[in-house]
């Protein structure tokens, strides 16, 4: 696969590669809660009629959530757990079953876990037998990563048989934005996929 080939390329450049496991399953819930609140604050009710239906829905959801302390606390609790988990993982990771104090410099992941789709489709509402509840569910992994308070970037790492791009996401520790940009630039320079996108 394009992703596996990309991992092999990083290895060929002298990177030490370890498989890391992080659970971001609750991330989409936190993302939806926090995004809805932001949208409700930014898009007042008079302006919403000019927004696309998905934004209107998100802002209206935010109106319902604001003032509901139970939902707000759930969103913040999920966010804190996820950030603690990634802090622990990136600062001490297990290599061949042994915990080390060597920090992880970067996480390399697929950008999304679904194949790309035609640009005329606004968003995926279904994939195979999986039904998505809203317009951001198909981006669950990417939206969860955006909550981690870490710089990340997506770059093309391959193409499907139909000529659609496949993405690779690079994530680093906090305050390492320039390192993420440099690594992405190095990867793009070696692969030249950006000219096809």
pLDDT level of residue 162 (50, 70, 90 thresholds): confident
Q: Quote the pLDDT of residue 179.
A: 95
| Residue of 70, 7, 66 whose CA lies nearest to 34 | 66
Mean of pLDDT values over 122-131 = 89
Q: Quote the pLDDT of residue 10.
A: 95
| 158, containing H or E segment | strand 152-159
pTM score of the predicted model:
0.80
* Residues 68-82 pLDDT 10s: 889 888 888 888 888
Contact 118, 126 (CB under 8 A): no
* Residues 71-120 pLDDT 10s: 888 888 888 888 888 877 777 654 444 555 567 789 899 998 888 888 89
- Which domains, ranges and CATH numbers included, belong to the chain? 2-192 (3.90.1300.10)
pLDDT at residue 11 is higher than 90: yes
Distance CA 178, CA 46 (A): 40
* b/e sequence 19-54, b meaning 16+ C-beta within 10 Å: eeebebebbbbbbbbbbbbebbeebeeeebeeeeee
């Amino acid at each position: 696969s394009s992703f596996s080939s990309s991992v092999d390329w990083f290895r060929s450049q002298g990177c030490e590669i370890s498989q890391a496991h992080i659970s971001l399953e609750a991330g989409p819930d936190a993302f939806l809660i926090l995004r809805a609140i932001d949208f409700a604050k930014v898009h007042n009710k008079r302006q919403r009629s000019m927004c696309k239906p998905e934004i209107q829905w998100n802002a209206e959801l935010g109106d319902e959530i604001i003032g509901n302390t139970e939902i707000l606390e759930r969103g913040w609790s999920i966010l804190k757990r996820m950030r603690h988990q990634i802090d622990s993982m990136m600062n001490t990771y297990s290599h061949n079953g042994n915990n080390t104090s060597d920090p992880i410099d970067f996480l390399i992941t697929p950008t999304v876990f679904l194949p790309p789709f035609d640009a005329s489709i606004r968003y995926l509402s279904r994939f195979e037998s999986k039904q998505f509840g809203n317009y951001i569910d198909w981006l669950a992994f990417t939206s969860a990563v955006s909550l981690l308070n870490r710089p990340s970037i997506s770059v093309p790492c391959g193409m499907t048989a139909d000529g659609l791009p496949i993405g690779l996401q690079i994530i680093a520790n906090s305050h390492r934005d320039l390192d993420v940009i440099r690594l992405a630039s190095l990867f793009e320079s070696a692969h030249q996929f950006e000219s096809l996108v």
